[in-house]
Amino acid sequence: MSNLVIGGGLSGLSAAYYLAKTLPSQTTRLIESSQRLGGWIKTTKENNIIFEQAARTIRPRGEAGANTLDLIEELDLEDEIVPIFSDSPAAKNRMLYCDGYSVRD
């Protein structure tokens, strides 16, 4: 028997990971229509400016947040996390760029 996950965004990647972990004797396949994984999450860099196209942060609260933090730890990604505290200027300043116009939030 095999398991099939459609979509390689964060939800699909998480589902495939947990299926493979929970049912190791079964094959888990992930199908993604594009050439990259990550779904809406995408980072590009142009002229030394980093553009986050979609979510740039997570707010791990409650049971789902605890699960996200557990997954980050389990995948040994702690060194990739940059904490931004709620009183940090980075948490309060946002810049939107759309159709050649930029707007500060």
Residue 97 domain flag: no
Q: Check whether residue 61 and residue 76 sit in a common domain.
A: yes
Range of the domain at 49: 40-83
Residue 101 domain flag: no
Give the model's pLDDT for residue 24. 95
Residue 92 domain flag: no
Give the model's pLDDT for residue 95. 66
Q: What are the tens digits of pLDDT across the range 76-86?
A: 989 988 777 87
Residue 93 domain flag: no
Residue 47 domain flag: yes
Q: What are the tens digits of pLDDT across the range 11-59?
A: 999 999 999 999 999 999 999 999 999 888 888 888 888 777 776 667 7
Within 8 A by CB and 6+ apart from 47, the residues are none
* Beta-strand relationship, 27-31 and 2-6: parallel
Residue 95 domain flag: no
Q: 0.95 cut: is pTM over it?
A: no
Q: How many domains does the chain have?
A: 2
Residue 56 domain flag: yes
